[in-house]
Amino acid sequence: MADERLIAALDVPTRADAEQLVTRLGDSVSCYKVGMELFYALGGDVVTWLKEQEKKVFLDLKLHDIPNTVGNGLCSLLHLAPAILNVHTAGGLRMMKAAAEALHRAAAEADISCPKLIGVTVLTSMDAEDWAGLGHTGTIADAVLRRAKLAQEAGLDGVVASPAETSEIRRVCGNDFLIVTPGIRPAGVAHDDQRRVMTPAGAIRAGASQIVVGRAIYAAEDPRAAAEAILKEMETV
């Protein structure tokens, strides 16, 4: 059985590309991230197809709007039965609280399992220069921890955070708090547009609940071999 700590990112432009990758990965991967690129192109059909393949889905749409709109948006995605949904913590405490309450209420009314709801803290593509350029005076690490604590206070199940901040979030928010970690690069793989990165084993060791791996798998000459190498590395932790 595949290790559910590994989430493969379906950051591809077409359904044919997605189906080809999932087929090539076979039973080595059981969880997939569907982001804006694929969801905006195909809508919920791609999530439905993945569910039919008995895969779990992290629907990574980073909802960020006024509280009522985000809550309603999440509820409109509930019928797709993703395992994980997310919002952006930059929307603030009231938005996150309204989102969590709306999602749990809608799931209870529909008598279905409620997806985990997590909050994006700070994108892993951002570095200190980017952060300062937005007018922030504190550090990224401080902001991530503050936003993680707000997410927990709001009733979210966890956060998305880079591996650089994972250990401190785990210390402050506890062992039951879900930490989904992108910015994963196995040794020898280019960082591309990611800035705050770590190896798969390093991220798990730091306290990540699940890691999201994109280019290192889908751009590999042999995606299944790449995924299995990551899984083998994770077994050492």
| Active-site residue list | 62
**Among positive and negative, which fits the CA dihedral 43, 41, 9, 163?**
negative
Q: Which residues pair with 178 in a beta bridge?
A: 158
Q: Element (H or E) spanning 32, and its range?
A: strand 31-34
Say if residues 33 and 10 touch (Cβ distance below 8 Å).
yes
d(CA 110, CA 106): 6
Say if residues 13 and 220 touch (Cβ distance below 8 Å).
no
DSSP assigned state of 102: H
Residue ranges of E strands in 80-230: 84-88, 116-120, 158-160, 178-181, 210-213
d(CA 107, CA 116): 11
Strand 210-213 and strand 6-9: the pairing is: parallel
Helix axes of 45-52 and 15-25: crossing angle, nearest 10 degrees: 20
How far from each other are the two terminal CA atoms of the chain, in whole angstroms?
Answer: 18
